[in-house]
Structure 1
Amino acid sequence: MESDSGEIRPLIPREIVAELDRHIVGQAAAKRAVAIALRNRWRRLQVPEELRDEIAPKNIIMVGPTGVGKTEIARRLARLAQAPFIKVEASKFTEVGYVGRDVESMIRDLVEIAVQMVRAEEMEKVAGQAKAAAEDRLLDLLLPRVPAKEAEGSPGTDAGSTDTRERFRAMLREGKLSERTVEVEFKEAAVPVLDLAGLGGGAPEGMEGNLQEMLSGLFPKRTRRKRMRVAEAIGFLEKEEAARRVDTERVKQLAVARTEQAGIVFLDEIDKIAGRESLQGPDVSRQGVQRDLLPIVEGSSVNTKHGVVRTDHILFVAAGAFHVNKPSDLIPELQGRFPIRVELSSLSKGDFVRILTEPHGALTRQYEAMLASEGVRLSFRPEAVDRIAEMACEVNERTENIGARRLHTVMERLLDDLLFSAPELAGQEVTVTRPYVDERLAGIVKDADLSRYIL
């Protein structure tokens, strides 16, 4: 579905959950919540316009220990949404007036992502025209046209040059001219390089890039020439021709509209800015960031270089481990802006076994594929996978519980020798058994100082 107000792929909730299930084990409640929220974006655009503005997104806050899938859900959601999506760390922001990133920068970054998306779509629409124009420009470089005065009085010149040109066009399409070199002429803005690092306190976020763009319109473009292979030149010229055919103002308008109607912001580590009211220490800054977030989450206008963006209908999904504090430590006004609260459960040994075997990109499959590139056939016995999961759980219980991330540590330790000597084992088959696991991982569980194994 495409409209000026945004374009959202109409996946139904069951399909969204099924796709998330391919990559993430468990956490059904969180998957259902984001699936419903995504579908509601599409539903809202089907509602009559007079009622559409009244429907506000129901923001979500995901609460759960580290390593259980909060960030992974965000990563997969970005691919499914096919809408402007940005993941930001709440802990990176500072209160207005302090050096650092202000919360409005995430909306500016979201618009930039939308501009790139819309520009890519618009360039795709004119790809056929751009390809034909690029071919003609390349043929002009390979076969310079005969000047009109020289061509006069030369019977058959036009027909002959046309035939030659078409023969070269066929050779170009067949890739027979790929290794030839041509000199391509293009224009670039002659803008001086700006270094604002010397400003007191540093340059504000994004100022350098914005000034650079403003100055680009004041300086005349200079012509440059560059020698390159035909295979490289055709791609370069296609992009240039496509960009020439795209209406920049239309791209900006569509991008702003898409951001407003379909944008999604994932606020990770929101627990790091939560804290009880205090008159000193870091809590003052944390509460300042929360207060700055409030107007953006509830709906306000943000100035960007592409236009003013209203945040009323942008969906915000927040996530945090809340080990030290709890969601109620957020200021009440901000809590109220996240009406849907989802708890993610800790992972058990059974979950670890599933994580190692079920997902499309399961860790065991990743290592099998990597070692296959060296000619080594790696396989894991079910009892070995069970033992790996058991040991990962045990280490999590004895030290910091970092969830599924512990599996990366354990697998690297387990396959350390094999990964080092794989080039000398080409053509061999290695089967990981339970004794193999016990032999190589015994030290991890017994060692009291496990700091080197913690990610």
Structure 2
Amino acid sequence: GKTRYEGVGHIKNNILMVGPTGVGKTYLIKLIAKKIGVPFVKGDATKFSETGYVGGDVEDLVRDLVYEADGDIEMAQYGIIYIDEIDKIASSNHTIGPDVSRTGVQRALLKPMEETEVDLKVPHDPISQLEAIEHYRKTGKKEKRTINTKHILFIMSGAFNGLEEMVKKRLNREGIGFRAEIRSKDERAEYLKQVKAEDLIAFGFESEFIGRLPVTAIFERLEVEDLYAILKNPNNPIILGKKKDFKSYGIDIQFEEDALYELAVKAYEEKTGARGLVSAVEKVLLKFEKRLPSTGIKQLVVTCEVVKNPGQELERLLDDPMHPDRVARFEKLHSRERMDLKESILNREGEFRRRYGIAFPESRIDLIARRMVDKGYDVNTVFEEVVEVQRQVEEFEREFQQRNGIRLQFDGEAIDRVTDMALEEDLKGQVICSRLLKDYEHGIKLIRDRIGRREFVITKEAIDDPEEYLNRIIQEAYSRRFDLETEGKPR
């Protein structure tokens, strides 16, 4: 039966994204697909035009969606197909030859972009052939597996160099042009925001193709401030990745804000958008990554001077690695990073509570921020680790009660302590709990047998000093028993 409402005359809001390289088009769509929980595949339009049979590759993308959905056709039917460099399949209107294949690719996309059935079994795929043979052997029937593309969202993107000039010509004809050559990035973006279907047709697209892309999104080129904001983001994979690289050598690395800005300037000069950030960071730190692991130096502060003169600053570091100013700067940055991360997580605590279904006290958030700084992990990875250990502690409590008839409850600080130990030693929460309780499990059972007490709260003190905790609860138990016995005696 139908699983979702299907309106009459259903029109898909396929999207055309226009923008230069490195502005985050692919990254954005990947994040959206992950957030809404649908499969995502990416293709390159230039690859289609290189094949003899232009339709084959387009349908392969649809089949790839099923693969990404682990064979779940229902899930794949609501996936996202993202095709980059779509501007490369526009015909140039004044040449003969290659344009035939370009137009052919556009036409091959028409049906999937609207609605068609795609056969999942193809002659050139041996696995699908073997599956079909196995199905026939078991049932004696041929199996026809298809996927309908009606609800698959198609997103096309490209740089579209020169499109702004076509928009400008049209606007001038209509009497609303700027009457000047396009010079700045802002002017180019302003023209592109006025783009209409007729401009895209003039660029070299079939009208039927553009008609299936009702939504147009314009991406502007990233400026220095944009690149700087990316580097400052605590979940930025470029800085996190570099911290992990150095951490693998036992080296902690911190970046000053001036250094991040200088890196953004260098990246901007490469004219490749956010991709330039990776190159800029690598060029600055490559010498440090080669030399420092063999020196015993455990801390590195990336300053503006390091970014401008990496070779010179490396020699200065090697000459005096424990210079008081350098050490003080590192400690200040390390402490500030933890505080900033903690504040950022506290601001999102409600989001994490809804996601995982449990509350996170401030002490646990402090633990998460500390681990992010110490290990260079991203926030989601650390939350997953911490939540998993907490569930393991709860599982230990249940198993202990089933075995011994005693209800243990680890309080918040005790869970923090167990989590810290489990993550540091790379052990399960149950293993840590068993090891900690080994010292006084007998004492707890003794108290249960003597006075019938069946509930115990395990505190941080119980973990740090089990002997003292055990002595205290035994004394309390015997004192309570003595009080009960004296209450029962006649005066």
* TM-score normalised by length of structure 1: 0.51
Decide whether the 8 Å contact of 1:58 with 1:338 is kept in 2. Answer: yes
Alignment map for 1:348-367 (pairs within 5 Å): 348-358=223-233, 360-367=235-242
More displaced, 370-379 or 94-103? 94-103
2:76 corresponding residue in structure 1: 259
Decide whether the 8 Å contact of 1:94 with 1:103 is kept in 2. Answer: no
Of residues 61, 64, 73 in structure 1, which corresponds to 2:19?
A: 64
Decide whether the 8 Å contact of 1:64 with 1:344 is kept in 2. Answer: yes
Aligned-partner residue type, residue 279 of structure 2: T
TM-superposed CA distance for 1:315, in Å, is: 0.9
1:318 corresponding residue in structure 2: 156
Report the CA distance shift for 1:299/1:392 in structure 2 as closer, same or farther (over 3 A): same
Aligned-partner residue type, residue 288 of structure 2: L
Pair 1:424 & 2:294 matched: yes
1:106 corresponding residue in structure 2: 61
1:387 corresponding residue in structure 2: 262
Aligned-partner residue type, residue 276 of structure 2: R
Decide whether the 8 Å contact of 1:64 with 1:345 is kept in 2. Answer: yes
Pair 1:407 & 2:277 matched: yes
1:344 corresponding residue in structure 2: 219
More helix by share: 2
2:387 corresponding residue in structure 1: none
**Structure 2: distance between partners of 1:295 and 1:95:** 20
Aligned-partner residue type, residue 375 of structure 1: G
**Structure 2: distance between partners of 1:95 and 1:313:** 28
Aligned-partner residue type, residue 380 of structure 1: F
1:335 corresponding residue in structure 2: 210
TM-superposed CA distance for 1:96, in Å, is: 7.9
2:38 corresponding residue in structure 1: 83
**Structure 2: distance between partners of 1:426 and 1:275:** 60
SS of equivalent to 2:265: helix
Decide whether the 8 Å contact of 1:374 with 1:426 is kept in 2. Answer: no
Of residues 274, 287, 308 in structure 1, which corresponds to 2:103?
A: 287
TM-superposed CA distance for 1:62, in Å, is: 0.9
Report the CA distance shift for 1:332/1:301 in structure 2 as closer, same or farther (over 3 A): same
- Higher relative contact order, structure no. (Cα contacts within 8 Å, ≥ 6 residues apart): 1
SS of equivalent to 2:58: coil
Aligned-partner residue type, residue 89 of structure 2: I
Which structure's CA Rg is the greater one? Answer: 2
TM-superposed CA distance for 1:117, in Å, is: 5.3
TM-superposed CA distance for 1:402, in Å, is: 1.0
* TM-score normalised by length of structure 2: 0.48
SS of equivalent to 1:413: helix
Aligned-partner residue type, residue 106 of structure 2: Q
TM-superposed CA distance for 1:98, in Å, is: 3.8
Decide whether the 8 Å contact of 1:92 with 1:101 is kept in 2. Answer: no
**Structure 1: distance between partners of 2:7 and 2:263:** 51
* Structure 1 vs Structure 2 CA RMSD: 2.6
Structure 2: which 5+ residue stretches go unaligned? 122-143, 165-199, 313-491
Q: How many residues align?
A: 253
Report the CA distance shift for 1:430/1:107 in structure 2 as closer, same or farther (over 3 A): same
1:298 corresponding residue in structure 2: 114
TM-superposed CA distance for 1:387, in Å, is: 1.3
Alignment map for 1:5-20 (pairs within 5 Å): none
TM-superposed CA distance for 1:312, in Å, is: 1.9
TM-superposed CA distance for 1:337, in Å, is: 0.7
String of CA shifts for 1:163-188, please: whole Å, max 9, x gaps.
Answer: xxxxxxxxxxxxxxxxxxxxxxxxxx
Decide whether the 8 Å contact of 2:15 with 2:154 is kept in 1. Answer: yes
Aligned-partner residue type, residue 75 of structure 2: R
Decide whether the 8 Å contact of 2:287 with 2:310 is kept in 1. Answer: no
TM-superposed CA distance for 1:108, in Å, is: 2.1
Report the CA distance shift for 1:333/1:441 in structure 2 as closer, same or farther (over 3 A): farther
String of CA shifts for 1:314-342, please: whole Å, max 9, x gaps.
Answer: 11111111125574422211111111100
Aligned-partner residue type, residue 88 of structure 1: G
TM-superposed CA distance for 1:63, in Å, is: 0.7
TM-superposed CA distance for 1:290, in Å, is: 0.5
2:93 corresponding residue in structure 1: 277
Of residues 296, 307, 310 in structure 2, which corresponds to 1:440?
A: 310
**Structure 2: distance between partners of 1:263 and 1:410:** 35
**Structure 2: distance between partners of 1:424 and 1:96:** 51
**Structure 1: distance between partners of 2:221 and 2:154:** 24
Report the CA distance shift for 1:54/1:258 in structure 2 as closer, same or farther (over 3 A): farther
1:372 corresponding residue in structure 2: 247
**Structure 1: distance between partners of 2:25 and 2:234:** 16
String of CA shifts for 1:330-375, please: whole Å, max 9, x gaps.
Answer: 2211111111100011111111111111151342232122211211
Decide whether the 8 Å contact of 1:374 with 1:423 is kept in 2. Answer: yes
Decide whether the 8 Å contact of 1:63 with 1:319 is kept in 2. Answer: yes
Aligned residues: percent identity?
Answer: 35
Decide whether the 8 Å contact of 1:94 with 1:101 is kept in 2. Answer: no
2:472 corresponding residue in structure 1: none
String of CA shifts for 1:57-116, please: whole Å, max 9, x gaps.
Answer: 2111111000000111122233223223211112111488548943222122223333x1
